[in-house]
Amino acid sequence: MRVAVFGASGLIGRAVVQRLVSHAGLEVQAFVHNTGNAWPLLRFGLSLRTADLCSRRDADEAVRGCTHVVNCALGVDDELVEGMRNLLEACRRHHVERLVHLSSVTVYGEPPASESTDERAPARARRGTYGWYKMEQDRMVLRAQQQGLSSAVLCLPHVVGPGSRLLLAVLRALREQRFTLVDDGIYPVNVVDLANVCHAVELALRCSRVDGRRVFITNDDSLTWRDLISALAPLAEVVPDGVPVIASDAARALTGDQLTLAQAALTILTFEQVKAVLRRTVLQRNLALAAAIRTCRRLVRGACVGRADFTPRMASGSRAEGARLDPALCLYQLRRVRHSCDRAKRELGYLPVCSFAQSLSAFRRWYETAHGVGTEWWPLLRELST
C-alpha cells in the first residue's frame, strides 16, 4: 500500500502521517501546500513534496503511483471544491484503490439540526460557509464512489489532543476572561482526539465496507462544556466556578450574524435577567437600557464589518454582567447535538483508542512543553501573552 497524504503539515495530516509510518508501517508520500510548517514532518525520513491541489497537473502528478489517498487538505472557499475536483479526477485516472476524505460536522449547519445525531440527517450548511464547502466536497466524493472510486468520508467534530486549536482557543478565552458558559455548560461538546482520528483513518484505508457516505468519528463519550471547562481551568489558572454563565437565548442573540439593531435590541429585551432589571428603579432601568443599546450597536457593527475581535459585553443585570464574550466559542456551545459514532463502529470496526481524560493528559504535557507552562520561565513568558 502506497499512501498519498495531502495536507500533511497540518495538525491532523502530521499526526496521520506519523501514525501511518511508525505504527502501521505503510509507505507514505506526504504532500504539503507550502513548506512553512513542514519541519516536523522531516523527522520521519519520508518523502515530502509540495502540491497545489488547485492545479490539475499537480494533483495528477501527486497521485500517480499511489494506491491509496488520504485528504486532510485545508483550503478556503472555492479552493476546497476545486482541489477536491482535481483530486478525484486524479484518483480515478490512476485507479486509486481507496480515498479517505476528512469532512466536518459543520456540514450539518450552525447549529446542527437535532436529527444529526445520525449521519443520515440532511446536510444543511448555509451557502458560503466552511460547512457548505465541506458539504460540496462530500457530495463530490459520494458521486465518485458511485462511479467506482472506493471512498470513505470521516466526519470529524473539533479535534482535541496535543496542539488542539479548540483547546487552545478555550484556554486563551478563559485566561482573558472571554469565555462564557451557555446554560451552565450542560450541552455536549463533540470532540475527537487526534489518536482516534488516526486510528479511524487507518481503519478506513483497510476496511472493505465503505460507501462514500459520511461516518462520524468521535471520542464517543458524554463530555459536556462544563466538564471541558473544569478540566482546562487549572491550566488556564482560573477557578471553574468563576466562569460566567449566560442563557442560550442571550448567547444566540449575541452570536447572530444577521441581526439588525432592532432585532438585537428586541431579543435582548426579552432576556429574563434584563426584564428583571427593567422592573427596578428608573435609574437602574435607564442604565440597563443604555448598556443594552450599546451592546446591540456593537453587535450589529461587529457583524456588519466582520471584525474577528468583536467581543460584546453582557449588559448589566445579567448573571454574566460585564463579561466579554467570545462569539465563536458561544456558537460552538449552541450545537446541542451529540453525534454518534455507532456507524463507524459497525462499518469500520472503529473503537476509540483514546478517552478524553487520556487526550487531556496528552494535551497538558504538550502544552507545558510547547508553551513553557509550569516551567521556571512561565511567570516571565506569561507576561508576554497578557
Partner 1 sequence: MGEAFRIGIVGTGMICQDAHLPACLATPGVRVTVLVDPEADRAAACAQRFGINPLIARDVAELPGHVDGAIIATPNHTHADLAIACLDAGIPVLIEKPLATTLADGARIKDWAAKSKIPVAVGYCTRFWPSVVVVRELLQSGKFGTPKRFAFQYGAAGGWTPYSAYHLRQESSGGGAMVVNGTHYLDRALYWFGYPQSVVYQDDSHGGPEANAAATISYPELTGTIRVSKTEELTAGCVVETDAGILIHRDWRDPVLEFRLSGMSRSRFVTGDPGMSMAGRPNMYRLQIDDFVKCCRSGRQPQVGVDEGLAVIRLLEELYGCRQTMPDDWYRASGVEGRTT
- Chain residues that interact with partner 1, rule: CB under 8 A: 9, 14-15, 18-19, 22-23, 34-40, 42-43, 45, 48, 50, 161-163, 194-195, 198-199, 353-354, 357-359, 361-363, 365-366, 369-372, 377, 380-381, 383-385
Nearer to partner 1, 136 or 202 (CB): 202
For the CB of residue 62, give the shortest distance to partner 1 in the complex, in Å.
16
DSSP alpha helix (H) spans, 240-355: 248-255, 261-269, 272-278, 282-305, 327-333, 342-348
Nearer to partner 1, 187 or 356 (CB): 356
Please tell me the distance from the alpha carbon of residue 288 to that of residue 267, in angstroms, as a whole number. Answer: 14
Nearer to partner 1, 39 or 65 (CB): 39
Please give the single-letter amino acid code of residue 314: M
Helix, strand, coil percentages in the chain from 3-state DSSP, rounded to 5: 50, 15, 35
For the CB of residue 259, give the shortest distance to partner 1 in the complex, in Å.
31
For the CB of residue 373, give the shortest distance to partner 1 in the complex, in Å.
12
**Which residues fall within 8 angstroms of residue 201, CB to CB, at 6 or more apart?**
16, 19, 20, 70, 100, 102, 154
For the CB of residue 298, give the shortest distance to partner 1 in the complex, in Å.
23
For the CB of residue 376, give the shortest distance to partner 1 in the complex, in Å.
8
For the CB of residue 212, give the shortest distance to partner 1 in the complex, in Å.
26
**Which residues fall within 8 angstroms of residue 277, CB to CB, at 6 or more apart?**
284, 285, 288, 316, 317
Please tell me the distance from the alpha carbon of residue 245 to that of residue 177, in angstroms, as a whole number. Answer: 12
Please tell me the distance from the alpha carbon of residue 123 to that of residue 317, in angstroms, as a whole number. Answer: 39
C-alpha cell at 384: 508576554
Match 481503519 to its residue by C-alpha cell: 203
Q: What does the angle CA 135 – CA 141 – CA 147 come to, to the nearest 5 degrees?
A: 145
C-alpha cell at 45: 525520513
Beta bridge partners of 214: 153
For the CB of residue 163, give the shortest distance to partner 1 in the complex, in Å.
7
Nearer to partner 1, 94 or 345 (CB): 345
Beta bridge partners of 193: 160
Q: 246-285 b/e with 16+ CB inside 10 Å = b?
A: bbbebbbbbbbeebeeeebbebbbebebbeebbeeeeeee
Nearer to partner 1, 94 or 206 (CB): 206
For the CB of residue 86, give the shortest distance to partner 1 in the complex, in Å.
21
Please tell me the distance from the alpha carbon of residue 167 to that of residue 244, in angstroms, as a whole number. Answer: 18
Please tell me the distance from the alpha carbon of residue 37 to that of residue 14, in angstroms, as a whole number. Answer: 10
For the CB of residue 53, give the shortest distance to partner 1 in the complex, in Å.
17
